């Protein structure tokens, strides 16, 4: 009976333990109120499946612990896709909930660009983009974020702590993104 339980545990944990996702680089800079993040990650799954995970805002909460709610929003005035994200995060003693609501443009399996509307977001500026390409039998994703929060950040220590949080939280997220993409790819086979 004990060996059967170990076999089941190994079967359940295999997808988690076999993750090959790799954060290849992360750069976070702060200048005059603006945060700039750039990263490169590699996923051991095809581009189509990875692209579809990134484009599906409804599941963003499954790979980021700070997302309270995320969803795809119907077409905007120009017929494009929209998004809504409610984040809640704490850095030391400083906790904050933020909202981002904006528009998304994309070219299938090539790039995604999301721009927050400052009128309905907690950011004066939030622009992010993902570029996808085939690499080493998997998918490489280049990410860029430029944002300027429209809320108070503790001077001196705040930018440092936010930079550290942005840099450190990516590893868990890419493992989960890869797992979701692999599950989706297996369903389409």
Q: What percent of the chain has pLDDT over 70?
A: 84
Residue 1 pLDDT greater than 70, yes or no: no
Residue 11 pLDDT greater than 70, yes or no: no
Helix (H, G, I), strand (E, B) or coil at 66: coil
Question: Does a structural domain hold residue 3?
Answer: no
Of residues 37 and 92, more confidently modeled: 37
User: How confident is the model at residue 19, as a pLDDT?
Assistant: 61
Domain that holds residue 61: 18-187
Question: Does a structural domain hold residue 2?
Answer: no
Query: How far, CA to CA in Å, does 38 sit from each of 24, 33, 152, 155?
Result: 11, 17, 23, 23
CA distance 79 to 84: 16
Residue 118 pLDDT greater than 90, yes or no: yes
Question: Does a structural domain hold residue 5?
Answer: no
Report the mean per-residue pLDDT for the chain: 84
Question: Does a structural domain hold residue 4?
Answer: no
Can you tell me the mean pLDDT for 25-54?
Answer: 92
Question: Does a structural domain hold residue 154?
Answer: yes
User: How confident is the model at residue 47, as a pLDDT?
Assistant: 97
Q: Band of the pLDDT at 5, cuts 50, 70, 90?
A: very low
CA distance 10 to 148: 44
User: How confident is the model at residue 155, as a pLDDT?
Assistant: 65
Say which CATH number the domain at 63 has.
3.30.530.20
Pick left, alpha or beta for residue 8 (phi over 0 → left; psi -120 to 50 → alpha; otherwise beta): alpha
User: How confident is the model at residue 126, as a pLDDT?
Assistant: 97
Dihedral through CA 102, CA 182, CA 20, CA 54, nearest 10?
-10
User: How confident is the model at residue 27, as a pLDDT?
Assistant: 86
Residue 85 pLDDT greater than 70, yes or no: yes
Question: Does a structural domain hold residue 128?
Answer: yes
CA distance 75 to 70: 16
**pLDDT tens-digit map of 150-166:** 987 776 777 777 777 76
**List of long-range contacts for 179-182, beta carbons under 8 Å, 24+ apart:** 179/15, 179/16, 179/19, 180/53, 180/59, 180/62, 180/63, 181/43, 181/45, 181/46, 181/49, 181/50, 181/52, 181/53, 182/15, 182/44, 182/45, 182/49
User: How confident is the model at residue 49, as a pLDDT?
Assistant: 97
* Overall domain count for the chain: 1
Question: Does a structural domain hold residue 12?
Answer: no
Q: What does the radius of gyration of the chain's CA atoms come to, in whole angstroms?
A: 18
Question: Does a structural domain hold residue 13?
Answer: no
Residue 140 pLDDT greater than 70, yes or no: yes
């Amino acid at each position: 009976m004990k060996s059967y339980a170990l076999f089941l545990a190994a079967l359940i944990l295999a997808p988690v333990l076999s993750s090959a996702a790799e954060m290849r680089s992360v750069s976070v800079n702060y200048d005059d109120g603006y945060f700039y993040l750039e990263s490169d990650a590699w996923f051991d799954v095809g581009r189509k499946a990875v692209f579809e995970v990134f484009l599906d805002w409804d599941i963003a909460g499954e790979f980021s612990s700070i997302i309270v709610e995320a969803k795809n929003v119907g077409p905007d005035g120009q017929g494009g896709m929209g998004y809504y994200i409610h984040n809640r995060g704490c850095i030391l003693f400083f906790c904050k909930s933020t909202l981002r609501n904006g528009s998304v443009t994309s070219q299938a399996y090539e790039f995604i660009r999301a721009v927050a509307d400052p009128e309905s977001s907690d950011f004066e500026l939030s622009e992010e983009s993902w570029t996808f390409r085939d690499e080493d039998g998997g998918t490489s994703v280049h990410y860029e974020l430029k944002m300027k929060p429209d809320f108070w950040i503790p001077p001196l220590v705040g930018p440092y702590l936010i930079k550290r949080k942005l840099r450190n939280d990516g590893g868990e997220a890419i493992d989960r993104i890869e797992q979701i993409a692999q599950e989706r790819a297996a369903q389409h086979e």
